[in-house]
Structure 1
Amino acid sequence: MKLHLSAPSNTLLQNNIQITGSKSESNRSLLLQALYSNISIENLSNSDDAEVMQKGLKIENGVVDIHHAGTAMRFLTSYFASQEGKEVTLTGSQRMTERPVKVLVEALQELGAEITYEKNEGYPPIRIKGKKLNESKVSLPANISSQYISSLLLTAPSLKNGLELELVGKITSVPYIKMTLALLSQIGVENSFEGNTIKVSPKANVANINLVVESDWSSASYYYSIVALSDVGSEITLSAYKSSSLQGDSVLQELYTEFGVETQFVGNTVVLRKVEMPKEQKVEFDLSNAPDIAQTIAVTCFGLGMECHLTGLHTLKIKETDRLEALHTELSKLGASISVTDKDLTLNVSNTLNVDVAIDTYNDHRMAMAFAPLALKTPLFVNDAEVVSKSYPDFWRDLEKLGFISKSV
């Protein structure tokens, strides 16, 4: 599906949007529910990724196809490796077969797992024969995607001796690790995170508990961008959110003050207001702990005619696409002056803003949603717009509530 997207007739925006549960929290909660059947979950994400995770967890033997869902690939690798009697082949899309899993597979093998590669070493598809994992100590590089780390931590309480995980080097994406540990604490699993060592105690059973998933802050980022690019006085209310969030992307509250956006919590809602135009013409952010909002911020800066230098982006190379190169290509089409390395992005001020550019999305939901707010500045096309279903199926419908005009072409 190709969409043509243009601005509302009135760019003084006012509306309320209900956002589905966090994909990150949902997938973690689903894995814990698979380990402990007396856990119930509210406000589960309606994303493709959460649906794939649910289906995958129900399979006992055979092929588990997780399509584009990188989180599911990593989480299910540890889950199936620790489930005695289950035997599966874990595979996915063409892009998924290019995304490395070797560091996680080797860690699990150290714990006693039986995992083999079906095609290329270090990459899916992988064959997993579940068994009891009796070893309890392992190490991982600290600068890898937090999903590898969380994968091991989530499975850890079901292991006979728990887990002691040493992270070697400088740790990145700490909020996502803390989210995982906080969920373990909620269900009564003892854990500690001191220095570079994480310990998770074994737990055979947990008490009945209902986990309520907070709405997704990554999804909220697109509304921060919309408010930043709209007129002073615009106000969008999002629900349901907590002022003390487990999600790393909640740092949006602080970062977007640089773009004149104020955040206020009212009950279980968060109110975003455009209170002023940006005071500075350049921002510098280290996004090591929140790399998923890099695309949104880069597009916001371009739309506002601001410079930006974003660092801590090394994990973006192995996402649904190489997000740094994708940003370089698509922003350049629009007229941006941009450069990227393997871990940072620099956007210079450009006076060019091309009209009706077709944005390619590369099977990446965040490319589609990050570029959508730019319709406030220039009409554009979005190729393969249905890719948003990976994390936010209602996105285009919700934009229409704000007055955006979208037409299939």
Structure 2
Amino acid sequence: MESLKINKINKTVGGTIQITGSKSESNRLLVLQQFYPNLKIENVSNSDDSKLMQKALASSLNEINIGHAGTAMRFLTSYFSVKENSVIVLTGSHRMKNRPIKILVDALRDLGSEIEYLEKEGYPPLKITGKKLDKDFVEIEGNVSSQYISSLLLIAPTLYNGLRLKFKGEVTSVPYIKMTLTLLAELGVELSWDDDSILIQPKPIINNKTVVVESDWSSASYYYSLVSLSPNSEVKLSSYKQNSLQGDSVLAKIYENLGVETTFGVNSITLKNTGNLNPSKLMNLNLIGAPDIAQTVVVTCFGLGIECYLTGLHTLKIKETDRLVALKNEIEKLGGVVLITNETLNLKSTTKINENISIATYDDHRMAMAFAPLAIKVSIYIEEPNVVSKSYPDFWEDFEQITS
């Protein structure tokens, strides 16, 4: 088993880093580009997920394997459903075959899609026969993964009558749905979101359009953690916007309570350690709109020796791994105490961190990157460090640049 040792960092963290484009924005735009070939995309993510998406969309094979890429599985299920005269088997890794997709498949079938399960009912692999869909109404639970909802929204403008998507119950992952809708609106798609329904008008063609992808806020989270844990540190990151489409941009507000000040420049942010901690603000922090930063926030709090209680984490159980269990396992190896339910995590405050612990990453890129900043406090080992390529292939080079 490959392992990376990160020796305890004995210097003030500082430097400037250019972070790759947002995986979330890139993957949405790559699908839309298939429908609208005169759409040009700049600063596309260099993550494994986005490369897999590009490869799958360009493939002439009848079977496409997307590995661990959950976004690709969800978005491509809808995409191939409307790709007329195609028959595709969409499969993935062993973990992917155990990640549920029934809610999305049911919604697509309600629209007239032809999709079969080839192994286990409700899970990939899928056999998808592409066809023209003429139905224009579907209902879906509001508290499901935003990727199911965005997957439907991405094909909506290509449907002959557009789409009315009605939510049953409260909608949870609002920021990622808004990201999809904003990108559609940028392309000139007419849409509205009123109460429990989103209405998308058909849009067969668009004018020539160039969209520049903002850098990934999830990737920025690991530098927020580093700066929080490193007194007097300062790091500049680009390319970022103050009015971001990404839910994870809430980092700037959350990390104010963890001693990090964010200053917005022209397409950049500067993170500065202030040392001003406000732990009470972390005692009922709802991350329903930004679950991907939960691991980072928990590890930062552990490194600072402060308690946190996070809610809205139910989607973490069906990510690359069960992230709640993974966090509990690894932090307890380090000497922490973590209590979890299906949707909450309570980290107790502790003053001691065990040294030279080997952190298992569970085929999960965010486990590797979230734990790396603890090297400010102790030497640490990261197992299977190359897992970071899923979202941020240059992470270790960038991390070393500002810490050595």
Instruction: State the TM-score, normalized to the length of structure 2.
Output: 0.98
Structure 1 residues 5-404: aligned runs within 5 Å = 5-10=6-11, 12-231=12-231, 233-280=232-279, 283-284=282-283, 285-404=285-404
* Structure-2 separation of matches of 1:60 and 1:197: 36
Tell whether the 8 Å contact from 1:8 to 1:402 is kept in structure 2 after alignment.
no
Q: CA deviation at 1:61?
A: 4.6
Q: CA deviation at 1:59?
A: 2.5
Structure 1 runs of 4+ aligned residues shifted over 4 Å read none
* Structure-2 separation of matches of 1:60 and 1:386: 29
Secondary structure of the corresponding residue to residue 275 of structure 1: strand
* Structure-1 separation of matches of 2:280 and 2:208: 52
Name which of structure 1's ranges 64-73 and 282-291 shifts more when overlaid on structure 2. 282-291
Deviations 1:7-51 (A, max 9, x none): 3331x2220010000000000010000111000100000000000
Name which of structure 1's ranges 56-65 and 119-128 shifts more when overlaid on structure 2. 56-65
Q: CA deviation at 1:403?
A: 2.3
In the alignment of these two chains, the number of paired residues is: 402
- Counterpart amino acid of residue 334 in structure 2: L
Q: CA deviation at 1:6?
A: 2.0
RMSD of Structure 2 on Structure 1 (CA)? 1.0
- Counterpart amino acid of residue 308 in structure 2: C
* Structure-2 separation of matches of 1:178 and 1:314: 20
Aligned residue in 2 for 1:407: none
* Structure-2 separation of matches of 1:312 and 1:236: 29
* Structure-1 separation of matches of 2:323 and 2:26: 24
Q: CA deviation at 1:277?
A: 3.7
Tell whether the 8 Å contact from 1:282 to 1:306 is kept in structure 2 after alignment.
no
Secondary structure of the corresponding residue to residue 210 of structure 1: strand
**Against the structure 1 CA distance between its residues 194 and 79, is the aligned structure 2 distance closer, same or farther, given a 3 Å change threshold?**
same
Deviations 1:294-341 (A, max 9, x none): 000000000000000000000001000000000010111000011101
* Structure-2 separation of matches of 1:282 and 1:254: 11
* Structure-2 separation of matches of 1:352 and 1:402: 25
* Structure-2 separation of matches of 1:279 and 1:80: 48
Secondary structure of the corresponding residue to residue 279 of structure 2: coil
* Structure-1 separation of matches of 2:4 and 2:61: 40
Name which of structure 1's ranges 101-110 and 271-280 shifts more when overlaid on structure 2. 271-280
Deviations 1:50-106 (A, max 9, x none): 000001112345111000000000000000001111110000000000000000000
Tell whether the 8 Å contact from 1:314 to 1:342 is kept in structure 2 after alignment.
yes
- Counterpart amino acid of residue 401 in structure 2: K
* Structure-1 separation of matches of 2:136 and 2:60: 25
